[in-house]
Amino acid sequence: MVQNKLTNINDVAYQKLIDNITALWGEAKSKAVNAVNTELLEANWQTGKYIVDFELKGKDRAEYGKHLLMNLSKDLTIRNGKGFNRTNLTYMRKFYLAFPILGTASPKLTWSHYYELLKCDNSLEMKFYFNECIKEGWKVRELKRQMKSCLFQRLALSTDKAGVLALANEGHQVQTPQDIIRDPFVLEFAGLPK
Q: Are 40 and 113 in contact (CB under 8 A)?
A: no
The number of C-alpha atoms within 13 Å of 60 and in the hemisphere containing its C-beta is 0
Query: How much is the pLDDT for 11?
Result: 84
Q: Using alpha carbons only, what angle is made at residue 72 by residues 127 and 39, rounded to the nearest 5 degrees? A: 50
φ and ψ at 164, to 5 degrees?
Answer: -65, -40
Domain residue spans in the chain? 11-100, 108-194
Cβ neighbors of 79 (< 8 A, separation 6 or more) are none
pLDDT of the residue at 96 = 97
Among the listed residues 60, 63, 86, 62, the one whose alpha carbon sits nearest the alpha carbon of residue 74 = 86
111 Cβ neighbours under 8 A, 6+ residues apart: 37, 40, 41, 44
Residues of the chain falling short of pLDDT 50: 171-190
pTM confidence score: 0.72
- R_g of the chain computed on alpha carbons: 24
pLDDT tens per residue, range 83-128: 999 999 999 999 999 999 999 999 999 999 999 999 998 888 999 9
pLDDT given at position 105: 95
The C-alpha atoms of residue 115 and residue 41 are separated, in whole angstroms, by 11
